[in-house]
Structure 1
Amino acid sequence: MSDEPKGPGAVALGWWSKHIAPRETPAAKALSARLRRAAPLAVLCEPAVQDLARGLNIGPGQAERLVQLAVLLAEVRETGPERLARRLGGPEPVLSALRFQRLIRAEGDELTDLLRRAISMAERKCNVAALAADILHWEAARPRWCFDYFGAEAPAKDLEEQTR
């Protein structure tokens, strides 16, 4: 398995690198701030978010997931190799096991709020491509997050099935 992002994760990483990551530019700072504070319809009215939707081939039926993705990507300041759940857990977790369980069980706005806090607790750094792919396929990603949080390797067969 290659560590290079593929599919929707790669699209989201490219979008994040262009629109959010260059924090030294006023445009990136402003977009990030607007996305973090905006109501869902205002997020959808951002031309950059519509670019992301086109890149991911997301339509109106997935608008809620698109808003969630854009808002959470605006929280991340730095991408790296580690998945968010790994950064949150491990031998000295920055997010308690009980709070992690709450995050894993959460849905909708509660999930978005808990993930925002989790990103902040992870020093706003994680693997952006992996985070995006996980958000877009949250139900399939949850079991892997449990393995990642506790520092265990998920069985390779299961990971291959999740990425198909």
Structure 2
Amino acid sequence: MSEKPKRPGSVALGWWSANIGQRDVPVARALVARLRRAAPMAVLSEPRVQDLARNLDLGPHKAEEIVRLAVLLAEVRETSSEPLASRLGGDDPVLSQLRFQRLLRAEGDDLTAQLRRAISMADRRCNVAALAADLLYWEAARPRWCFQYYGADVPQKDFEETTE
């Protein structure tokens, strides 16, 4: 009997909880500080980030996504049930519609910078597992973020493949 593989969001949440979720622990604070200011190769050189990459089992072609994931998870201070897009939008959005649209069009380093600001605007709190899964599969997640930002129900049939 084979063991069912863990979802990327669960793996990332476990890693976040074990390595950077407890900011009162000096080792976690030091790792967060290094991740927040490091260049991409320095992020990949962190043993804890290599643990994350190994557990995600995505392969070297996803190095940019692993770097973005580690850097942005270092920005989150508290996990919650709400996805980041929901925390940014809704009836009284903390991120304007124009900035949200710009975030959805962003790529590369610009995407990382805009998401970093967005996490800060959301009081550094969001669903860590959902954020991780979305970052790893950003192209598939962008339409879902539109629904979440505007507080609409996400059509599950269209998004089943990206969440399983």
Structure 2: stretches of 5+ with no match in the other structure:
1-5
Counterpart code for 1:24: D
User: Is the aligned partner of 1:42 residue 2:47?
Assistant: no
Cα distance in 1, alignment partners of residues 163 and 49 from structure 2: 24
Q: 1:1-164 maps to which residues of 2 (within 5 A)?
A: 7-164=7-164
Per-residue CA distance 1:113-139 (angstroms, 9 max, x = gap): 000000000000000000000000000
CA drift of 1:156 comes to 1.9
Gaps of 5+ in 1: 1-5
For normalisation by structure 2, the TM-score amounts to: 0.95
- What's the offset of the Cα at 1:161? 2.8
Question: Alignment partner of 1:16: what SS?
Answer: helix
AA aligned opposite 1:98: L
Which AA in structure 2 matches 1:65? E
Cα distance between partner residues in 2 of 1:133 and 1:162: 9
Aligned to 1:95, the other structure's residue is in SS state coil
Hey, what's the Cα distance between the residues in 1 that align with 2:156 and 2:62?
Answer: 29
What displacement does 1:160 show? Answer: 1.6
Q: RMSD across aligned C-alpha pairs, in angstroms?
A: 0.9
Measure how far apart 1:155 and its partner are: 1.1
Tell me how far apart the structure 2 counterparts of residues 32 and 103 of structure 1 sit (CA, whole Å): 23
Identity %: 72
Consecutive aligned runs of 4 or more in structure 1 exceeding 2 Å deviation: none
**TM-score, normalised to structure 1's length?**
0.95
Q: 1-side partners of 2:43 and 2:58: how far apart?
A: 14
The residue identity in structure 1 corresponding to 2:59 is G
State the one-letter code of the partner of 2:39: A
For 2:161 and 2:45, how far apart are their aligned partners in 1? 35
> Which whole-Å deviations, capped at 9, do the CAs of 1:81-126 have from their partners, x for residues lacking one?
0000000000000000000000000000000000000000000000
